[in-house]
Amino acid sequence: MNLRHLEHWLALAETGSFSRAAEKLHITQSALSRSIQALEDELGGPLVDRIGKRNELTPLGRSVLARAQRIVHEAAELKQGATVMQQGNLGNLRLGLGSGPGAVLMTPWLVHMARHYPGVKVSVIRGPTELQLQQLRERVLDALVVDVRRVTPASDLIIGPLYDMPAGLLVRSGHPLLARYPDGVPFEAVLEYPVASIPLSAEVARMLVARYGPQANPNDLVSLQCEEIPSLLEAARQTDAVYLGILGPARDLLAHGELVLLPLLPRFNQGARLGMVTLAGRTELPVMAVFRRFVAEQMGQVDPLPEGDMND
């Protein structure tokens, strides 16, 4: 079976158009049609129904699609791995980082690679965990570091090692809540001020509601929301907003007294569970070993949980 024919078929299935697929592949439309016809002849049936200007996958086409994707991806990785081995280099690394891991790891990782491995190409992509999981499965990304509470365990994913990261509520030094409630701040008092947080998982939302009641539902509680933790921390530093999230990215601000931990009553006992996610059965490039060591060192202040342990 011709690998090029499978690549052409995947482009057609992805775009749904012979013209757009041909443009993506940098070949003529007639050449693409011949390639698809040759694949159909070899498989013994049509892969796509040509209905006017529309193209729809046939039942055979749908069954072939997933296997063709695996074959093409494996062939690409085989070629890339052979090239890396022949050249004796580490390969290139494409990472997806969630909001918390991005705030903790991204800058130190880029500095580390620029300083120690300047010849390695590193790409860091930020975005919602759900999108990054899709990109991992499509081989756009090589690995993720995310809050694994947002990841549904699946047979094609390897999750671990895991690290529990403490979280809490932070306010600026001199915040009115600190003066009004020196012995502990009731949760109801927090509601008087804007709460700044990243989007929270459904599991964390359930934990908050269970501890503080319906008023802690993030849909109602959070009024300042974005994926960038440094921006949320800065909002808390400059205003009376209350930051809700992991404490690691605020280490320097806490050390200099610009932010302080809010003594909430009852005590806030939540945290993030960060972990690396990779694709099962995928051959890792040598540079992944560098990244794994780096993450372990950066998270060295907490002990990793056993792989696959996602229970409290």
- 183 lies in some domain: yes
Question: What's the number of domains the chain is made of?
Answer: 3
Q: Is the confidence at residue 234, as pLDDT, over 90? A: yes
pTM: 0.63
- 202 lies in some domain: yes
Give percent of the chain with pLDDT exceeding 90: 33
Q: Which of 55, 87, 119 finishes a domain?
A: 87
Amino acid 276: pLDDT: 93
Mark whether 266 and 170 lie in a shared domain: yes
Work out the average pLDDT over 153-160. Answer: 90
Mark whether 158 and 301 lie in a shared domain: yes
Using the structure block, give the residue that is written with the tokens 């809490």: 168
301 φ/ψ angles, rounded to the nearest 5 degrees:
-75, -10
Query: Regarding predicted confidence, which is higher, 149 or 239?
Result: 239
Work out the average pLDDT over 29-56. Answer: 77
Mark whether 12 and 62 lie in a shared domain: yes
CA geometry: angle 221, 274, 201, nearest 5 deg: 30
Structure tokens at 37: 């016809």
Total residues found in the chain within this entry? 312
CATH classification at residue 50: 1.10.10.10
Query: Regarding predicted confidence, which is higher, 155 or 55?
Result: 155
Amino acid 254: pLDDT: 92
Amino acid 169: pLDDT: 93
Mark whether 155 and 279 lie in a shared domain: yes
CA distance 112 to 92: 15
Question: Nearest-CA neighbor of 277 among 101, 82, 104?
Answer: 101
Question: Nearest-CA neighbor of 284 among 90, 108, 72?
Answer: 90
Amino acid 20: pLDDT: 80
Amino acid 76: pLDDT: 64
Q: Is the confidence at residue 130, as pLDDT, over 80? A: yes
Q: Is the confidence at residue 256, as pLDDT, over 60? A: yes
CB 121 within 8 A of CB 243: no
Mark whether 170 and 254 lie in a shared domain: yes
Taking the alpha carbons of 185, 190, 194, 200 in that order, is the dihedral positive or negative?
A: positive
- 170 lies in some domain: yes
Question: Nearest-CA neighbor of 21 among 49, 55, 60?
Answer: 55
CB 154 within 8 A of CB 161: no
- 310 lies in some domain: no
Q: Is the confidence at residue 72, as pLDDT, over 80? A: no
By mean pLDDT, which of 79-93, 165-179, 259-273, 288-302 is the weakest? 79-93
- DSSP per residue, the chain: --HHHHHHHHHHHHHS-HHHHHHHHTS-HHHHHHHHHHHHHHHTS-SEEEETTEEEE-HHHHHHHHHHHHHHHHHHHHHHHHHHHHHT----EEEEE-HHHHHHHHHHHHHHHHHH-TTS-EEEEE--HHHHHHHHHTTS-SEEEEEGGG----TTEEEEEEEEEEEEEEEETT-HHHHH-TT-EEHHHHTTS-EEEPPPPHHHHHHHHHHH-GGG-HHHH-SEE-S-HHHHHHHHHHSS-EEEEESGGGHHHHHTTSEEE--EESPP--EEEEEEEEETTPPPPTHHHHHHHHHHHHTTTSPEEPTT----
Amino acid 310: pLDDT: 34
Mark whether 198 and 111 lie in a shared domain: no
By mean pLDDT, which of 83-87, 142-146, 260-264, 268-272 is the weakest? 83-87
Mark whether 158 and 291 lie in a shared domain: yes
Mark whether 292 and 152 lie in a shared domain: yes
- How confident is residue 40, by pLDDT bands cut at 50, 70 and 90? confident
- State which residues form the domain around 132: 93-163+273-305
CATH classification at residue 233: 3.40.190.10
Amino acid 74: pLDDT: 64
Beta bridge partners of 225: 197
Work out the average pLDDT over 244-263. Answer: 91
Distances (CA, A) of 69 to 12, 43, 48, 63, 92: 12, 16, 16, 11, 21
Mean per-residue pLDDT of the chain: 83
- 312 lies in some domain: no
Mark whether 36 and 107 lie in a shared domain: no
Amino acid 188: pLDDT: 92
Q: Is the confidence at residue 259, as pLDDT, over 90? A: yes
Mark whether 238 and 101 lie in a shared domain: no
CA distance 299 to 297: 5
Mark whether 33 and 172 lie in a shared domain: no
Mark whether 290 and 159 lie in a shared domain: yes
Work out the average pLDDT over 132-149. Answer: 90
- How confident is residue 83, by pLDDT bands cut at 50, 70 and 90? low
